[in-house]
Amino acid sequence: MPPERQDVLRELAERVRANNDEFTLLESLDSGKPLDVAQGEIERAISYFEYYAGLCRSIEGKQFPYDADALIYTRREPYGVVGQIIPWNFPFVMVSYKLGPALATGNTVVLKPAEQTPLTALRFARELQEVVPDGVVNVVSGFGEEAGDPLTSHQEVRKVAFTGSTEVGHQIMRNAANRTAPVTLELGGKSPFIVFPDADIDVAVESVAGVMYYNTGQSCDAPSRVFVHEDVREEFMDAFLERTQEEVVGDPLVEGTTMGPLVSEAQYEKVTGYLDIGREEGATVAAGGGVPEGDTYGNGWYVEPTVFSEASNDMRVAQDEIFGPVETVITWSDYDEMIRQANDTEYGLAAGMATENASLAHETAAELEAGNVWVNKYATLPPGVPFGGYKQSGIGREHTRETLLAYTRCKTVDIATDRSPM
């Protein structure tokens, strides 16, 4: 019942809060996040468990007036067994994004963490074991072929939720289609950020850099294409390159580090490969472009924060999701052409802009093909605000009350109420 679900989610939030330091350390060790970044994400996960606890009692149906001889109403009912697969870039935050709405609506869950970063999910399973009834939440680790594929293909899994690459999302959608199971998919992105001539340059720079270098650029909504108007290009580039030099790449367990290593050797090979591709395509390396040198970096998958300038939107570094701290800067002069290029990508997860003109901001937000658009800020995602993409970036919305609908089925009940006269 809703009150019991609410108590469970609140208790889970409190248990994570009580063990915050342990979860923070595990997240940092597992993913390479600096300790203060990992701690912020653990606290964010707590807030999402609390948010969904608050929604437990808000799940309701509707009554439809028709005539005096009928009572028609709807019920929201759980699917039953839900399969959830979370990615390696935000391991524990994604646990809260997925488990919160599933438990709030009365489903049971089989949760598969990413094989690269399973530690916090497995540690959380110890708390789940003490709080939720047996069998309600099952954490199953493993590789995609041995765990993810069977989970998304199983006939008894009635709904699937996945965050990860677009390629894997396509396979999951095919698996679910064989039994017409609904899916929620949050996939890749190649998000534009537009700097208008009237922009506050300091705001624009921090809006981009604060997210582009966060988590070593391993964020699906990272503003990895910056469209800068020619009138402010020089001013923006000077400030952005100065801000890029402020990043401290190093051991994530050392205070002061702002960028740790990439999550794995495979990701390192991918990102450094794109550094070569950018040069081959003719983009100018304005900052970084390589691997930091020194004893500190000998045993980690480190790359420098990198800025490609003199780029065009048809280059692979402007079209492919690199998933690393690699920024591509494109200069524009014509508004309509800039909007066309900003939308000229298979993705549509997020976008941003910097402008002091409110009317222009509204107009541009309407023209951008993206599920989330930020103005004079970027990637703020408080609980309750919908998050999800257009086009190849996914299906459905997370983080919000609307998410509850994706974890419930609608049943209509129509009862005849006509009675014989006395």
Per-residue pLDDT, 422: 54
Contact criterion met (CB below 8 Å) for 135 and 108: yes
The pTM of the full predicted model, rounded to 2 decimals, is 0.94
Query: Is the pLDDT reported for residue 174 higher than 90?
Result: yes
Structure tokens at 103: 């438990």
Average pLDDT over residues 302-329: 97
Predicted confidence band of residue 83 (pLDDT cuts 50, 70, 90): very high
- pLDDT exceeds 90 at position 294: no
Domains and CATH numbers, the chain: 2-187+393-414 (3.40.605.10), 192-375 (3.40.309.10)
Q: Calculate what percentage of the chain has a pLDDT beyond 70.
A: 99
Residue 419 scores a pLDDT above 80: no
- Reported as a pLDDT band with limits 50, 70 and 90, residue 221 is very high
- Segment 115-141 shows an average pLDDT of 96
Q: What is the pLDDT of residues 177-218, one digit of tens each?
A: 999 999 999 999 999 999 999 999 999 999 999 999 999 999
For the chain, the average pLDDT equals 96
What amino acid positions are annotated as catalytic residues? 186, 220
Residue 257 has pLDDT above 80, yes or no: yes
Higher pLDDT, 296 or 419: 296
pLDDT beyond 60 at 421 = no
Q: What is the pLDDT of residue 1?
A: 85
For residue 4, with 0-12 CB atoms within 10 Å meaning exposed, 13-18 middle and 19 or more buried, which class applies?
A: exposed
Confidence of residue 4 (pLDDT cuts 50, 70, 90): very high
Question: Cβ distance 215 to 38 under 8 Å?
Answer: no
Residue 407 pLDDT > 60: yes
CA–CA dist 3, 101 (Å, integer):
14
Tell whether the model's pLDDT for residue 365 goes beyond 60. yes
Terminus-to-terminus CA distance in the chain, angstroms?
Answer: 39
> What is the average per-residue pLDDT within 225-254?
97
Name the residue among 123, 120, 170 with its Cα closest to residue 144: 170
What whole-number distance in Å separates Cα of residue 400 and Cα of residue 146?
32
What is the arithmetic mean of pLDDT over 81-86? 98
Q: If you average pLDDT over residues 104-122, what whole number do you get?
A: 97
